[in-house]
Amino acid sequence: MSEAILEPDLPIIDPHHHLWDLRPLLPAFPEPRHPFLEAIAGAAYYTFDQLHADAASGHRVIATVFMECGAFYDAGRSEPFRPVGEVEFANGVAAQGASGAYGAYRPCAAIVGHADLTRGAAAGEVLDALQAASPRFAGIRHAGAWDADPEVLGPPFHAPEGLYGDSAFREGFAELGPRGLTFDAWVLEPQLGDVIALARAFPDQPIVLDHCGTPLGIASYRGTLPDRFDRWRANIRALAECENVTVKLGGLAMAFCAMPDDGPAAGCDSQTLADLWRPYVETCIEAFGAERAMFESNYPVDRWGASYPVLWNAFKRLASGASEGEKRALFAGTAARVYGLEALLA
């Protein structure tokens, strides 16, 4: 799907993308593959060249935020410290961009890594090592996605049930604040109450809700998006009452959400995608406000439903009624504030 780029001069900080090489792992993925596995298998090798090509495809992407995905862990370190390798890798990509060889574009200008917070206070040692690995390290994500239906996530993506309420996890979570680190939360729509409880328990800790809370339209949830919308909306509004939480507007092209339902690379145009996503995106913006919301690509996972330029065209259609100030926040300003990239917008 090829489209003319809308508002090509609008600055974008893409606050959520991955880089990985999954090719060695693909033989271990069971056949037939879960749709999510099928989606990432279609982009099994996504590193600097692919990211740069997507970011340079027409929209004015000035910087990006790397999001942990279990890539390039350091096998030479003890198990808890292996995620340091991922931050070192992303920092190397950032150094490529910072060289100026690719113009003003700054990939991985901020880095969100991973630490196992269920180690309790001992997680602090890992956080210190992650901070030492890169001045661009901004925070962590410890995904909590779980569902009683194993077909929703498929192997190997289940977190333990009730992770964000676990006492050891919360002890580790408390180590973030003294270090000035952010926390990205990935859960599924039925788990939004877990994030609300976490945000209320730690009102001073910045939390970012990924992917609009991941509405579900897969497996036993297939066909139920309209039935579950009111529950999702009520939880989003409750979460927005927590002033320490921001929301990422995206991830809706994932197979989990079934918007569209016919990936990978569904070939939908940006207007079709905007129409599918509008109820979710507009609800989030209405609840959080533009200053606490940010559009995200979630690439390459969202390649399931949209090419990179079409994805951002869809977001621009969704923001067409916003003021210039609101657009600046939604496409770059909120991400810059949350992840410490304000200097890029000066």
Structure tokens at 291: 């200053």
Q: Is 11-345 a domain of CATH 3.30.465.10?
A: no
**35 pLDDT higher than 80:** no
Q: Could you report the per-residue pLDDT of 1-34, keeping only the tens digit for each?
A: 679 999 999 999 999 999 999 888 777 776 767 7
> Residue 44: its pLDDT value, please?
86
Domain boundaries, given as residue ranges, for the chain: 11-345
Looking at 68-116, which runs of residues are DSSP E strands?
106-113
State the chain's mean pLDDT as an integer: 94
Position 190 confidence tier, pLDDT thresholds 50, 70, 90: very high
Q: In residues, how long is the chain?
A: 346
Distances (CA, A) of 265 to 52, 216, 228: 19, 19, 26
**266 pLDDT higher than 80:** no
Q: What percent of the chain has pLDDT over 90?
A: 86
Structure tokens at 203: 């009102």
**261 pLDDT higher than 90:** no
> Residue 156: its pLDDT value, please?
62
- Of 128, 131, 9, 3, whose CA–CA distance to 61 is shortest? 9
Q: Could you report the per-residue pLDDT of 267-297, keeping only the tens digit for each?
A: 789 999 999 999 999 999 999 999 999 999 9
> What is the torsional sign of CA 211, 213, 218, 222?
negative
Could you tell me the strand order of the sheet in which 207-209 lies?
11-17, 60-67, 106-113, 137-141, 182-185, 207-209, 245-249, 293-295
Mean local confidence (pLDDT), 215-240: 97
* Phi-psi sector, 250: left (phi>0), alpha (psi -120 to 50), beta: left
